[in-house]
Amino acid sequence: MRSALLAAAGVGPFFRLELFDRPLPPDWQPAQHLIRAGLAEPAASTAKRLGTREMRVAASILHLGIAARLWSPVLGCALLAGVVPDLTSLAVSSKPSIRLGLAGPAGWRGGSPTDLAGPAGWRGGSPTDLAELIRRVVAGPLAGFASALPVRLANGLLRGNSASAMAGALGEVVRARPDLGTAAATLAAVLMRTPDLAGGGGLAGSGLAFRRRSCCLYYRVPGAVLCGDCCFDRPPTAGG
């Protein structure tokens, strides 16, 4: 599992899961602790960074970023090594922005690549079996983070954020490894039929071209434009 996580981390920063011994370093905590405390502070920080006073916009962009950080390492491990990491010990830091990691068992030195003990995971089989493993691993934490947002967002928006993050992560893997394009497209098609993503958007043809059926609201950020997979062809008029 460690070699799979290291391979995934090589794709890009969103694909990296920090590995820690216990106790966790300062500014890190179990994900469940942050979920119980709520995401009001990270959402406020997101709003400040974006320059918006609309908390609904900030909450959506925060959720989209968390979804990308969850999907990316899991999909990276799945495509590059055929394994799915166990996120039971998921740890999170919200300073200066959301980062994710895994807390190892007592006595495990997370920083040493030669350790025998380390994060657990499962080996996938068919694309359907692999997709179900991935869905189960990502769905729980992502639902928890969504419930901790300081404002309520429509289920369709949340599903679109998740689907967009999934398709975007697979696209990053394929840019790094073009030979995995067919496997990535097959996995994306299966994942889009799962209950957590169904209705979130659609894939064009046999590739990874994706278009949402909802908007993440980024266009409402001052100076922003539509995202590449937005459901709109042009920004809605004021009040839309």
Q: pLDDT by residue (tens digit) across 82-112?
A: 999 999 999 999 877 889 999 865 444 444 4
Asked if the structure places residue 97 within a domain, the reply is yes
Asked if the structure places residue 49 within a domain, the reply is yes
Number of structural domains found in the chain: 1
Percentages helix, strand, coil for the chain (3-state, rounded to 5) are: 50, 10, 40
Asked if the structure places residue 9 within a domain, the reply is yes
Q: pLDDT by residue (tens digit) across 115-174?
A: 334 568 888 788 888 898 999 999 999 999 999 999 999 999 999 999 999 999 999 999
Strand partners, 209: none
Asked if the structure places residue 173 within a domain, the reply is no
Asked if the structure places residue 101 within a domain, the reply is yes
The domain of 89 spans 2-155
Identify the CA nearest to 15 among candidates 187, 169, 221, 211.
169
What are the Cα distances from residue 224, in Å, to 131, 160, 161, 214? 34, 19, 17, 17
Identify the CA nearest to 18 among candidates 142, 127, 111, 94.
111
Cis check: omega of the bond before 96, within 30 degrees of 0: yes
Identify the CA nearest to 188 among candidates 227, 200, 1.
200
Asked if the structure places residue 227 within a domain, the reply is no
Q: CA 228 to CA 214: how far, in whole Å?
A: 13
Asked if the structure places residue 103 within a domain, the reply is yes
Asked if the structure places residue 219 within a domain, the reply is no
Query: Could you tell me what percent of the chain has a pLDDT over 90?
Result: 70
pLDDT, the chain, mean: 88
Statement: residue 70 has pLDDT above 60: yes
Pairing of strands 18-20, 99-103: parallel
